[in-house]
């Protein structure tokens, strides 16, 4: 094992510090982004995430189970979130031709508009909280380290 590569039960102080800061920063950022949206009278971040995925899918729409794969929401959470989005007219549910159990979710014009207005606020938060605080080079470094955390190399 390489020096500095720990794989034991007990975390090193270095790992604990990195974890603590990751937790702290992400919670603060989420809170601040949520506050900014609330302030603007817009729906919460979760709505943006889902609208984003559905919008990306385009005309073909998305099946709810695909949303579950792409996001970190639980099945019942997606089910109810979609119900709320539909009630607000932001998405529409269409029957699926070859699977009677399922449905296809498609974003509506109103949904696109809401997403656009949310992005104006959300994007500003990202710019202020992240874009304005690190250089491109630093952003690239942190992005790559965060990616390594999510996708560890097999020999680690």
Partner DNA sequence: TATATGTAGATGCAATTGCATTTATCGTCA
Partner DNA sequence: TGACGATAAATGCAATTGCATCTACATATA
Q: For a copy of itself, which stretch binds (CB under 8 A), given 53-61, 82-90, 94-102, 143-151?
A: 143-151
- Residue among 76, 73, 51, 72 nearest 62 (CA): 51
SS3 73: coil
In this chain, which stretch among 36-44, 60-68, 93-101, 138-146 interacts with a copy of itself, using CB under 8 A? Answer: 138-146
Q: Which residues contact 59 (CB under 8 A, 6 or more apart)?
A: 106
DSSP, res 71: S
Of 30 and 94, CB closest to a copy of itself: 30
Residue with tokens 């959470």: 77
For residue 151, give the DSSP letter. S
Q: Which option in a copy of itself, DNA, none does residue 38 bind, with CB closer than 5 to 8 A by kind?
A: DNA
Q: Out of 75, 81, 126, 154, point to the residue binding a copy of itself (CB under 8 A).
A: 126
Task: State yes or no: residue 28 binds a copy of itself (CB under 8 A).
Answer: yes
Contact 53, 70 (CB under 8 A): yes
- For binding to a copy of itself (CB under 8 A), which residues are involved? 2-12, 14-19, 21-31, 72, 120, 123-124, 126-143, 145-150, 152, 156
């Amino acid at each position: 094992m390489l020096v500095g590569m720990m794989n034991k039960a007990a975390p090193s102080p270095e790992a604990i510090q990195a974890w603590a800061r990751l937790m702290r920063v992400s919670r603060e950022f989420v809170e601040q982004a949520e506050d900014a949206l609330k302030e603007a009278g817009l729906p919460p971040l979760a709505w943006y995430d889902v609208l984003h995925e559905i919008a990306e899918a385009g005309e073909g729409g998305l099946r709810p189970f695909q949303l579950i794969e792409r996001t970190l929401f639980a099945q019942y959470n997606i089910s109810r979130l979609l119900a709320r989005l539909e009630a607000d007219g932001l998405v529409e549910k269409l029957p699926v031709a070859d699977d009677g159990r399922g449905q296809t979710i498609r974003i509506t014009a109103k949904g696109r508009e809401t997403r656009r207005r949310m992005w104006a606020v959300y994007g500003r938060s990202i710019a202020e909280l992240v874009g304005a605080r690190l250089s491109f080079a630093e952003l690239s470094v942190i992005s790559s380290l965060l990616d390594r955390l999510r996708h560890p190399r097999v020999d680690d």
